[in-house]
């Protein structure tokens, strides 16, 4: 097994030349692009809204040490319990302690990228606890034994024919089943699980400080079922998801929905403020919020790059990225793929192993353009590259290669010292396997523009 970077290059090449994969992604992202364009056209002063969202998240990150305890205090007033987890191991251990104390054997989960981040399903399976995904896309990839392909749409890489074939193999449904029939089959299979589950586990789109609440957005109703039927509800949430006030949802709910799927609002938007109260008829008897760090404070410590924590996980930058649209989500080999994953993964999982993701970009700036909270994503990619070099995480060959290239480029005399024939020979010897693998190598002119200018104007 090679390094993560080597595996990335191999998988990228396979996916980039997989025409069936390209066809499915082009079709699915194309549908999203059309819906999002239509949704955004309805918003007045979009640029001002983005700027306002950016400022709110900036204030939060600059005062995270104050606003998180505010959320904790207000949530606890309603009978909720808050657990602080430094890393994935600690979060999983705390969840297991809750499940063991309750004697729980079955868990239903709504869509949550943060539980993917801590690999909760695998952890619970290891401890003989059934953990079932209830979001349709997540349920499909779980049946396939895969990770989510996309932050918003976990099964984006599959066609309806792929899913019909899967359901036919697993449940005997018709091989030509329609999307509506497949959804109905999943509903039949999952409803019983909600009723009998011991614990419901979710993420949260936002933590609300002033009311001590969590906000969950969804389109299927599975999160509401996962939080209503079981006696215990556990929400696992990254510390960056905090917003100051419930009134801020007036801004964040619409921009999340519109940038993610083109909707004015997602179908179900739920605010949960603790376990069932004495005068309430439904809801869990116990509710826990696990506040997860898992490398986020490493990113927070980077003054120039902490704005990556402003992300509201809408997935817009993935849909816009030409690299993502060619190589797909699984290639990144990290929970958060695409441009946003490329800037946060090196800080959360280690710059040495994941620095290559910051180079997996054309730097076209489309990701920055579409971000609803104005994260300067392509600048962050460059800053990560700078950090990798300053931390001496580049190979000796690369280091000396750039050293001599810089020396040559600093003066025209050095640049013109070798003629075009020598430069072309140099390109063929050193770059044919990397640059010229699937493309024709560029041909350097025999004489540089500077040399030709001097000759034509009699300056020699």
Which DSSP string corresponds to 328-363?
Answer: -SGGG-SSS-HHHHHHHHHHHH-HHHHGGGGGS---
End-to-end CA distance of the chain: 57
The strand pairing partners of 84, in sequence order, are 291
Lookup: tokens for 17: 């030349």
Dist. CA 255–CA 36, nearest whole Å: 11
Q: What is the pLDDT of residue 1?
A: 41
Cβ-in-10-Å burial (0-12, 13-18, 19+) of 48 comes to: exposed
Q: How far apart are CA 371 and CA 73, in angstroms?
A: 32
Residue with tokens 């376990």: 275
Which whole number is the average pLDDT over 39-68? Answer: 96
> Residue 2's pLDDT band (boundaries 50, 70, 90)?
low
Q: Cα 271 to chain center, whole Å?
A: 23
Q: What is the mean pLDDT of residues 414-441?
A: 79
- The dihedrals phi and psi of 149, each to the nearest 5 degrees, come to -85, -25
Cα–Cα distance between 295 and 307 in angstroms, integer? 14
| Listed residue (380, 352, 351) closest to 365, CA to CA | 380
Assign 437 a pLDDT band (cuts: 50, 70, 90).
confident
pLDDT of residue 418 exceeding 80, the answer is no
Distance CA(415)–CA(438), nearest Å, equals: 28
b (16+ CB within 10 A) / e for 89-102: ebbbebbbebbeee
The better pLDDT of the pair 397, 328 is held by 328
Q: Give the CATH class of 1-42+309-394.
A: mainly alpha
Q: Where in the chain is the domain with CATH 3.40.50.10420?
A: 66-294
CA–chain centroid gap for 199, Å, is 26
CATH 3.40.50.620 fits 66-294, yes or no: no
Whether the per-residue pLDDT at 128 is higher than 50: the answer is: yes
The pLDDT tens digits of the residues spanning 216-237 come to 999 999 999 999 999 999 999 9
Strands 206-208 and 286-292: unpaired
The pLDDT of residue 35 is above 60: yes
Residue 84: its pLDDT value, please? 98
Please check the confidence at residue 351 and state whether its pLDDT lies above 70: yes
Residue ranges of the chain assigned to CATH 1.10.1060: 1-42+309-394
Q: Which residues of 19-39 are buried (b: 16+ CB within 10 A; e: fewer)?
A: eebbebbeebbeebeeebeeb
For the record, the structure tokens of 320 come out as 């816009």
């Amino acid at each position: 097994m090679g390094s993560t970077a080597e595996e990335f290059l191999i998988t990228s090449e396979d996916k980039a030349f997989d025409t069936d994969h390209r066809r499915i992604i082009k079709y699915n992202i194309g549908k999203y692009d059309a819906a999002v364009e239509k949704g955004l056209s309805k918003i007045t002063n979009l640029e001002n809204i983005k700027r306002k969202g950016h400022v709110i998240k900036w204030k939060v990150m600059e005062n995270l040490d104050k606003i998180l305890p505010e959320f904790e205090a207000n949530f606890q007033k309603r009978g909720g319990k808050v657990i602080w987890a430094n890393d994935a191991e600690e979060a999983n251990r705390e969840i297991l302690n809750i499940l063991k104390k309750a004697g729980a054997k079955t868990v239903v989960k709504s869509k949550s990228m943060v539980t993917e981040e801590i690999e909760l399903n695998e952890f619970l399976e290891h401890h003989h606890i059934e953990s079932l995904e209830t979001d349709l896309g997540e349920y499909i990839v779980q049946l396939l034994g895969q990770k989510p392909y996309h932050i918003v749409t976990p099964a984006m890489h599959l066609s309806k024919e792929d899913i019909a074939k899967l359901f036919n193999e697993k449940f005997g449904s018709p091989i030509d089943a329609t999307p509506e029939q497949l959804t109905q089959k999943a509903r039949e299979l999952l409803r019983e699980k909600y009723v009998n589950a011991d614990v419901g586990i979710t993420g949260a789109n936002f933590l609300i400080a002033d009311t001590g609440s969590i906000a969950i957005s969804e389109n299927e109703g599975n999160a509401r079922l996962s939080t209503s039927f079981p006696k215990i509800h556990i929400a696992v949430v990254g510390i960056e998801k905090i917003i100051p006030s419930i009134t801020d949802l007036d801004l964040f709910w619409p921009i999340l929905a519109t940038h993610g799927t083109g909707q004015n609002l997602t179908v179900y938007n739920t605010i949960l403020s603790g376990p069932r109260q004495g005068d309430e008829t439904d809801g869990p008897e116990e509710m826990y919020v696990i506040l997860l760090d898992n490398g986020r404070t490493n990113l927070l410590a980077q003054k120039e790059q902490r704005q990556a924590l402003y992300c509201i996980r809408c997935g817009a930058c993935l849909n816009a990225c030409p690299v993502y649209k060619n190589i797909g989500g699984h290639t990144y080999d990290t929970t958060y793929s695409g441009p946003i994953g490329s800037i946060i993964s090196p800080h959360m999982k280690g710059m040495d192993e994941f620095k290559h993701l910051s180079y997996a970009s054309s730097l076209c700036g489309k990701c920055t353009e579409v971000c609803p909270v104005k994260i300067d994503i392509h600048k962050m990619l460059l800053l990560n590259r700078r950090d990798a070099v300053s931390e001496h995480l580049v190979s000796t060959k690369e280091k000396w290669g750039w050293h001599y290239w810089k020396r040559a480029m600093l003066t025209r005399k050095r640049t013109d010292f070798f003629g075009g024939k020598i430069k072309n020979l140099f390109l063929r010897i050193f770059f044919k396997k990397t640059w010229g693998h699937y493309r024709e190598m560029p041909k350097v002119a025999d004489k540089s523009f500077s040399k030709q200018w001097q000759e034509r104007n009699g300056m020699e």
